[in-house]
Structure 1
């Protein structure tokens, strides 16, 4: 019984360590919500091409609209 409890505790600690690196910081306005318009895994706040049309935001006339460049 003691060995089983030690094994469970060890696995729980390893799982907690692994999952702690997977947390994404939420956007400031809504808790738990990260805005990612083009669904590429990078929040719009840090995305250099928010609409994923191949044109960087700084050169894109409408960086939130994938149909206009």
Structure 2
């Protein structure tokens, strides 16, 4: 760890005035350990135009017709 910090200090100019920020990287925790696929496309876009259903029903929607 000390060797990595010294290397980063050499790369960043070894001073705090250079604006180099060193942040420790923590591992990302994955809940459950498996991928949750998104809901089916028809669940939120029945006509397949790429606009969600809640916008299709509005009268001022430019994608309505």
The structure with more radius of gyration: 2
**TM-score tier after normalising by the smaller chain length:** under 0.3
What is the TM-score when the length of structure 2 is the normalising length? 0.22
What is the TM-score when the length of structure 1 is the normalising length? 0.22
